[in-house]
Chains A and B, each alone.
Chain A
Amino acid sequence: GAVVSQHPSRVICKSGTSVKIECRSLDFQATTMFWYRQFPKQSLMLMATSNEGSKATYEQGVEKDKFLINHASLTLSTLTVTSAHPEDSSFYICSARKRQGSVGTQYFGPGTRLLVL
């Protein structure tokens, strides 16, 4: 199997606080993990690509100081939304590619719904 978990599944926070979201590959090693954001009725937008042991690569327009990504091990990547604001409210989804995966084998986590008040 190839299971990816995310925690928490839902979080509500006050404006100005920081929120950490964890993404874990439960039964495989993932050298690469991806973080996406999805606004209502919109598609998934890639935010950043995270490689184990190195700095994340951010997509154009995504602030790296606002969305801190840490990929400390082959099974865990974290996304921290720093000083969250209401406009950061969204559905955040991670995916993980198997260490020796074939083309296209990204496995998605169940997503984290963030609401910033």
Chain B
Amino acid sequence: EDKVVQSPLSLVVHEGDTVTLNCSYEVTNFRSLLWYKQEKKAPTFLFMLTSSGIEKKSGRLSSILDKKELFSILNITATQTGDSAVYLCAVEAYPSGGSNYKLTFGKGTLLTVNP
């Protein structure tokens, strides 16, 4: 069974701090790893990673994938209160005997940024 494990499960920081969120996975037929931000509703897409060692950046957020060690990190620098959310990591893989790629989500990291 495919597994995605995120750590820490929750994190409280002050505005301006830098945070690193972790995601490790065990899947068969890996295709991509995705990061999402979830506030009160459905997840919004942040990054998709398919290759090792190539950093993706968007403003204060960046992410990188290590396919050898099977993990990814999401960095947020100079955090703001608006960054408070659950950050979900998901891995897209093709299940054995299946007919569609599917996403397996981790439990998420609840980030709280205090002013």
Q: Are B103's CB and A34's CB within 8 A?
A: yes
Classify chain A's interface size: 20 to 34
Whether B98 contacts A57 by the Cβ 8 Å rule is yes
Q: Is A103 a contact partner of B48 (Cβ separation < 8 A)?
A: yes
Among the stretches A13-21, A39-47, A66-74, A82-90, the one at the interface with B is A39-47
Chain A residues with Cβ under 8 A from B32's Cβ?
103-104
Contact A32:B100 (CB < 8 A) given known A103-B48, A103-B50, A111-B42: yes
Complex contacts, A111 vs chain B, CB 8 Å = 41-42
A75 within 8 A of B: no
Indicate whether A104 sits within 8 Å of B88 (C-beta atoms), given known contacts A44-B43, A57-B99, A109-B42: no
CB within 8 Å of A: which of B79-115? 88, 90, 92, 98-100, 102-108
> How many angstroms from the CA of A45 to the CA of B105 in the assembled complex?
7
Residues of B participating in the A interface, judged by any CB pair closer than 8 Å: 31-32, 34, 41-45, 48, 50, 88, 90, 92, 98-100, 102-108
Interface, chain A (partner B; CB < 8 A): 32, 34, 42-46, 49, 51, 57, 93, 95, 103-104, 106-111
